[in-house]
Each structure stands twice: as structure tokens, then as C-alpha cells.
Structure 1
């Protein structure tokens, strides 16, 4: 098993939705244990159970962060992203009672995970309620961290106890009142540290009040949201993804077809288009978690670099209709983008859409594997449907991955290389219930040549590719 394959499998596991749900539960449990631990007396026998439970949770977080560090392509960025979580698991900080409040900062990560997960349900949540979730998380952190900090510093061992902050519930309601009212509740801290914390709570309340009443502009809310909002993988960490450049009405159907394909449904997709907001998809078909949208000009080299075109496996270039341009301009942008992508990543598979067939030669010279002349194919299909009635039902099924039979391409092997086309057709139908329709073979110039329905004695070679109609997507002929 190659190191790259292992990293890919681990990456998909660590960013899986069930893994995130597990981490969310652990964060909530960890925060709960902090409050229970602080609320109990030092001689309480339940302290021992809490001690081992807490260390068990920390051990899981250590493993999780170690795995994320292992798969992170940029180690420095890993430390910038997870420094709070690293502090929360360090034994040094657990030795000091006051610094245990730092473990409550995990709530920010809880907000990050919830924000990303809930925004997948509907586009409306992503646009409307993300800001409220962000503010809610900030309020929660201020109240919880403030109450725990005041309870600890105002009741330190060896100093007079402050009755206004003991037990912990009094400190909680005092912090809540101070945050809402913008002034101290009944009683006040007696220590310098406690007074500083009280000031921070009051200032936090004033700031949040300003946000809620609209005195601070919507940009402030958006900034808070972006501070919590993150992706399961940064764009610069992506590899082996599919790149879609440009957008038109076919784009939605293309994404749905890709995610209906068993071999493609887990592949990340990056969409680059000059749209004001991300395209809308059917949430029952499309998995938002693996789709990234960039509102930018896809012909720009800098934009393609940010989208990691050099690491992509496949690229789809659509005849973009997001702006009012002529068909010639649209084809020119397609050709320019194809040339740039092929220069950045010569091994990428590129499929491009053209409006004018005269421009096809430019894409072929650029190394584009598949060129679709949309109007030409549509006209051919309509003419064929007219002359061969019922053919549309066939094409709908074999060209769609959503249901029934479909076209697939598989590599040949040594085992079948001695067979003829006729013998292989019989073998595939008998063993896999598949129909062989063509053979793809590279010539001496490394160009693909397709032999559709060749003669019965056509010899199969080990390096050929077989094009089949099959219900199964994965067929092994080794």
C-alpha cells in the first residue's frame, strides 16, 4: 500500500461526517467534565472517576491531532489552526487549576464543526443563520469561561472566599447578568485578576449588544462568521479532485451525475465561476461537504493555482454563460483555460465544451482528451431520434450514472489478451452480464484510437481499454 494511498484513506476517514459527530460529542463531554470537576470538592470520591474519564478523552484528542498532523501537507499551518487544541491537551496546563479554563476554548471548534455541518442542509441556513450560530458560540464561550475563571480566582486556596462567586452557579448567573446588563451584578470581584475578567465580560456584552442592534455593520458579523467557518480541507491541501471551470445550466446536472457515480461520489469538486454565490443543488443528491466554490475568473493563472489545478485529476471546462459574451469569446476563454491547465498539469484528464466546432483543433493541440461540441451533439441526437424512434430511452440510461446500465471503461489484462473480440464478448456477457462495444488502443504517437464493434477476430492486447455497457461500475478481468 503506497504512502499516498494511505494518506488519502486516512484523510477521508478523519474528515468523515461521523468522525466530526464523534468529535462534537467528545467536546461537549469534555466541557461538561470541566464544570463537574470544578464544582466538586477535592475530597469527593467521584473525582477519581472524573480524572480517568478526562484523561481518556484527552488521549482520544491526542490521537486525533496526531493523525491530522500526519496527513497535513503543511505542518506550520497545522499548528496555526490547532494551537488552541494543542494547549488544551498539554499536561503542563492541566497542573494549574486556573489554566484549566483554556479547555473551554474547544467550544470554538465545536462552533466550526456545527456551522459547516448545519450549512449543508439548506442554502438558506448557510446564508441566514450562520451569523447567529457564530454569535451564539461567542456568547457561550464568554459566559462559561468567565464564570469558571471568576469562581477559581475568587476562591483560591489560602485566600478569603468571595461568597458572590461560590458555588459555581452563582458565578455563572453573575457573569450572565453582567454580560447582558453591561454592568456588574450583585457583588464584585475582590482580586485584581477577577476585576480584569469582569471588565472583559462587560466589554464583551457591549460589543455583542452592538452587533445585535446593528450599530456594528454586517461586515463585523461576517468577519466573526469567517473566523469560525472553516473547511474540512483547505483548498491548498486538495489533491486528486475534479475541477469545474465556468458555469451554465449543464453544470448542476454534471455535478449530480458525478456524485451519482460510485467511483466519483467521494471525489472533491472545486467549482470556479463568476457567480455572486454558490450554485444551488438538490441536497438529496449532492453532498455539499466535498464541494468548494470560488467566485473568480477561471482563466486567471493565480485563481487556478489557488484551486490546485496542478494537483487535480480531472478538469471540466464549460462554455461559461455567467457573463454577457459572444460565443467566440466564450470559446476563446475555454481554449485559454485548457492551455493553462494542461501546462500546469500535463497528466490531468480534461473535458472541454465548445460552441463552435472550428475551435476544436486548438484544444486537441493543447492536449485536451475530450471535446464536446454541445450544439453539434444535440443536433445529431435529435436527428437520430427522429430516424430511429425510441433511441432516446437508450441514451438516457447508458449516459447516466443515476440508474440502470451505463457506459464504463476498464483496462485489459494479460488474462484476456489472447482472446478475440468475439470470445471476449461472450466471456463478459457470461461472467459479468456486460456488453462489449469497442476497444480503445494507443498508437505509436500515444494517441487514443477507438475501434467500435470491430471484426470478430480482432485481437485484444494487454494495454487496450475496453468500453462496455454494464450495470456494474467495477469489473475485474484479471
Structure 2
């Protein structure tokens, strides 16, 4: 039993590390992540501000940095270099799973020479990281951190190359441009309205001030400059009207300018927020997920599954992904950060690929109802998703919910689905069993309870046993009762004591109920 507890704690720690790694990946590498957009803005600020000193050194102007600013920028550059070194190493870590790649290659590579197996496994485990290091962005990152070696700081070109990282963090600029494109016509309309407003009123004021002999308005361009400063409500005061008509027009210009500038900034803010919300609503990429749980669709069944997962903290042991057409606000339960949400249609291959379906361990497809779809059509969507998932990941444990009884056999026999649940059928059987055997419902609820219910464990995780009788005697010492053995997908309920056990078998255990001794 101690092995079970230790293995569970180990899985929990590995799950937390994996989830943390996925979040780092989405922050650093996934351009569709809102967290990546925020990080890119922060990184752009660091790149630009840390390059001020070297840019001034390279300019032909005779401007010198004040001593205090020079000292600050040098210290600041030290901190920035350390930051980018940490960033580079973090990116190198998140691009692949070295341990999993090593184990998979080592145990699958057939060679009697252990040294040869070790070398080949190390080579394959390092391959994705080396491939990443060869990418243009990674080369830029490496060049930008070379000045961490003090002798190389003499080469100013290496310090200037840090500016190339602006290309790396172009995601923030792309979002800025995308936000403008989304509202391009409205932006252009407001922008040209502002230009027209400035030019017309500035020239009118210029005419009145020129005839009044106001020498501050030297030319029409001075007047337009005054108009730009005035409409932005800055008003430096270096140029100002002295005539009554000029002051009246100035008041009108300021009032209209406040409205127009507010409309422009409001439109841009709305477009940018809309862009970030679109990314937040399921824009994460999760191709690097492994051995995770994917829930396709959302209904009361999926909600119950999710609540059980959260109550048992399974999401801490292995990542959980929800794929649905519903917006996140319609899910109905608060999802922790360890649970990933992807908005999209789970019958589309690109959506499934983005949630790492090829490496998923368990996939659940529920009968997600949509307006205008009959029960037959919903089951057809489930069938299409099942076939697609089995094509992408033949080893996935697939569980489906169907609405029509006659469709269940098709899923089990032709699609090799592990479990098929007919919507409402199990509930009906439980209620009927309770009629025949009062109290059966309480028993069934206890058996599926997350704390006191059935536990499934691999035989080898408990020890070595020749038959079921030996297993029974061993588990009873620790307060557990074995009730069934699973072998290659087939359940052997309450087998005889002489039932021979195999290494690949699983056993279902019921923990002690806590009654009187």
C-alpha cells in the first residue's frame, strides 16, 4: 500500500511540474496566448530601455550621458543580461520533455549493448532542443546574451544585436496592428475627422490672428502645430490667440477635440480588449501535453466529471483539457488554472491537434447539444470525433456518451471505444435496482465515492502474487478488499482464489468502511 501512496505523490508532483511547464510554454512561445502578449510588451520595454546606452554611444552626436544615468544603465544592463539568460534556459527547457523522450527511446530501442542504447536515447532526447537552438529566434536570443561574458562586451555589435529581439517579441506589435485592422474603417473615419477639424479651425484662427498682428502665428504651419497641441488638451502656451474670434474658435476646437480624441482612444481600447479576450477564450496551444485527459463537449455529464476531477485534485497529477464550442462563461463552474480550456469544434482536426490529442491518455466525448441538431445528428458528431481521435491516437482510452441505445453497439464493436455510456440508461437501471433491492442506490453511490469508492491499481504496484488468493490475503492486512481483476479490457468479477494473475492485470479494491472491529 505504501507503494501506491508514494506513486500517487510522485504523479502529483510530476503533474504540477508538467502543468507549470505548459504555462511557461504558453507565456514564452505561444503567440495566441494572452499571457504571451503581456510578456512581449514587458520584454519589449526591457529590450528598448536596456539599449539606450549603447545607442547613444553609436550616435554621431556629442551628447554624453549624465554620470548617475550612466551608472544606472550599466547596472540595469547586468540585470537584463541575467534576465535574458534565464529566459533562454527556460525556453530551452519548455520546448520538449527530455525525461519522457529519453525513457521512450531507451526502452523502445532494441540493442544488447546498454551503452549504445544510452547514447542513442540521449541523442534522441537532445534532438528537439538542438533543433530549437538552430531556429533564427533562438540564435538571436543566444547572441543577445553573449555579453554576459565580460570580454565580449568590447564588441558593441553584440550589444546592438539585442535590438533584434524586437522581432522575437513582435507578437505584441502584431496584436496592436490586428486591433487596428479589425476597426480599420472606424479608425480612418475618426482619424480623418480629427485632421479635418484641426486644419479647418487652425486656419480660421490663423486668419483672425494674422489680421490682428499676432506675431506668435508666424505661418500656417505654426497654426496647425498650435491646433494639434490644443486639440490634445496639452496647450504648451508658446502660441496662443489674442483675438475674441480666435478664443471662441479655440474653445470650440477643445470641446470637439475632447470628443473626437476620446472616440479614437475608446475605439482602439475596445478593439485591443476584444483581441485579448479572443485569445483568452480558448487560444492556448497545448501540443506539448502528454498523458493528459481531454473532455470533448460540455453538458451535465461533463460538468459532473469535471467536479469529480477537481474534488480529487486529479488535475494536479495530469493536465485536463476541455474542448467545447461554448464560451468559457457558459461552462457554469470555476475552472482552476491547472485546467485548460479550448474553444472550438472537437470534430475539427486542427482543434484536436492543438490540444495534443496525439499524446492524450484519456479522451471523453459527451453528447454536447447544439441548437438545430437532432439526437441522431449529435451521435453522428460523436462518431465522427471518435474516428478522428482513433486515427490521430490509436492508443487513447476513449469514452463516449451517446443519446440513442442503438448507436452504442456501433461504437463498441466498430470503433474500439473503451467505454460507451447511454445517456440516462445507467440512472434508470440504478433506480430500478433500488426498487427490487432497497438500499442498492446507497451501495452504488458508496462504491463510486471518490474517497471510499473503488480504486483501480496495477498488480505490479502492489507486489508479486501467483493467484488471487494470495492477493486477497495481502490486501486484507491493509484494510482493502479486491473485488475484480481487469485483463486486457475484460473484467473478471470476484474470481476464485486459484485465479492465476499476470503482470499486466489490474485489480479493483474497496477500502475498509470504518465499521466496528
Q: Do Structure 1 and Structure 2 share a fold, with TM-score over 0.5?
A: yes
Find the counterpart in structure 2 of residue 195 from structure 1: none
CA shift, 1:184, in A, is 7.4
Find the counterpart in structure 1 of residue 32 from structure 2: none
**Alignment of structure 1 residues 106-125 onto 2, 5 Å:** none
Find the counterpart in structure 2 of residue 323 from structure 1: 371
CA shift, 1:349, in A, is 0.6
1:467 to 501, 508, 514: 508
Shift of the 388–76 alpha-carbon distance from structure 1 to 2, 3 Å rule, reads: same
Cα contact 2:321–2:340 (8 A) shared by 1: yes
**Alignment of structure 1 residues 262-281 onto 2, 5 Å:** 262-277=313-328, 279-281=330-332
CA shift, 1:410, in A, is 1.3
2:448 to 399, 410, 418: 399
Cα contact 2:22–2:289 (8 A) shared by 1: no
Q: Is 1:66 aligned to residue 89 of structure 2? A: yes
CA distances 1:275-329 after superposition (whole Å, capped 9, x unpaired):
255543433xx31343122232x22334333443223221101112133322222
Find the counterpart in structure 2 of residue 438 from structure 1: 484
Cα contact 2:365–2:399 (8 A) shared by 1: yes
In the aligned structure 2, how far is the partner of 1:208 from the partner of 1:240? 52
**Alignment of structure 1 residues 44-123 onto 2, 5 Å:** 44=68, 47=71, 51=74, 55-56=78-79, 58-72=81-95, 91=147
Cα contact 2:293–2:318 (8 A) shared by 1: yes
Cα contact 2:465–2:471 (8 A) shared by 1: no
1:223 to 258, 263, 275: 275
In the aligned structure 2, how far is the partner of 1:178 from the partner of 1:253? 60
Find the counterpart in structure 2 of residue 293 from structure 1: 342
TM-score, normalised to structure 2's length? 0.56
1:411 to 458, 483, 486: 458
Moved more, 287-296 or 73-82: 73-82
Find the counterpart in structure 2 of residue 199 from structure 1: none
Find the counterpart in structure 2 of residue 135 from structure 1: none
Cα contact 1:417–1:461 (8 A) shared by 2: no
SS at the partner of 2:454? Answer: strand
Shift of the 452–10 alpha-carbon distance from structure 1 to 2, 3 Å rule, reads: closer
SS at the partner of 1:275? Answer: coil
**Alignment of structure 1 residues 324-339 onto 2, 5 Å:** 324-339=372-387
Moved more, 241-250 or 406-415: 406-415
In the aligned structure 1, how far is the partner of 2:461 from the partner of 2:19? 33
User: RMSD in angstroms over aligned alpha carbons?
Assistant: 5.2
SS at the partner of 2:497? Answer: coil
Cα contact 2:92–2:132 (8 A) shared by 1: no
Find the counterpart in structure 2 of residue 243 from structure 1: 294
Cα contact 1:406–1:469 (8 A) shared by 2: yes
SS at the partner of 1:413? Answer: helix
Shift of the 452–104 alpha-carbon distance from structure 1 to 2, 3 Å rule, reads: same
Shift of the 363–93 alpha-carbon distance from structure 1 to 2, 3 Å rule, reads: farther
Find the counterpart in structure 2 of residue 164 from structure 1: none
CA shift, 1:70, in A, is 3.7
CA shift, 1:451, in A, is 1.0
Shift of the 427–101 alpha-carbon distance from structure 1 to 2, 3 Å rule, reads: closer
Shift of the 54–304 alpha-carbon distance from structure 1 to 2, 3 Å rule, reads: same
SS at the partner of 1:406? Answer: coil
In the aligned structure 2, how far is the partner of 1:436 from the partner of 1:186? 88
SS at the partner of 1:305? Answer: helix
CA shift, 1:345, in A, is 0.9
CA shift, 1:469, in A, is 2.3
In the aligned structure 1, how far is the partner of 2:16 from the partner of 2:154? 34
Say which one has the larger Rg.
2
Find the counterpart in structure 1 of residue 404 from structure 2: 356
Shift of the 420–274 alpha-carbon distance from structure 1 to 2, 3 Å rule, reads: same
Higher helix proportion (structure 1 or 2): 2
CA shift, 1:350, in A, is 0.4
Find the counterpart in structure 2 of residue 379 from structure 1: 428
Cα contact 1:276–1:295 (8 A) shared by 2: no
Find the counterpart in structure 2 of residue 428 from structure 1: 475
**Alignment of structure 1 residues 197-212 onto 2, 5 Å:** 209-212=262-265
CA shift, 1:335, in A, is 1.9
Find the counterpart in structure 2 of residue 115 from structure 1: none
In the aligned structure 1, how far is the partner of 2:302 from the partner of 2:317? 18
CA shift, 1:51, in A, is 4.6
Q: Is 1:451 aligned to residue 474 of structure 2? A: no
TM-score, normalised to structure 1's length? 0.59
- The alignment of Structure 1 onto Structure 2 pairs a total of residues equal to 364
Unmatched 5+ stretches in structure 2: 1-12, 28-34, 54-63, 97-127, 148-152, 174-227, 240-257, 513-517
Unmatched 5+ stretches in structure 1: 1-5, 113-176, 189-204, 443-447, 472-478
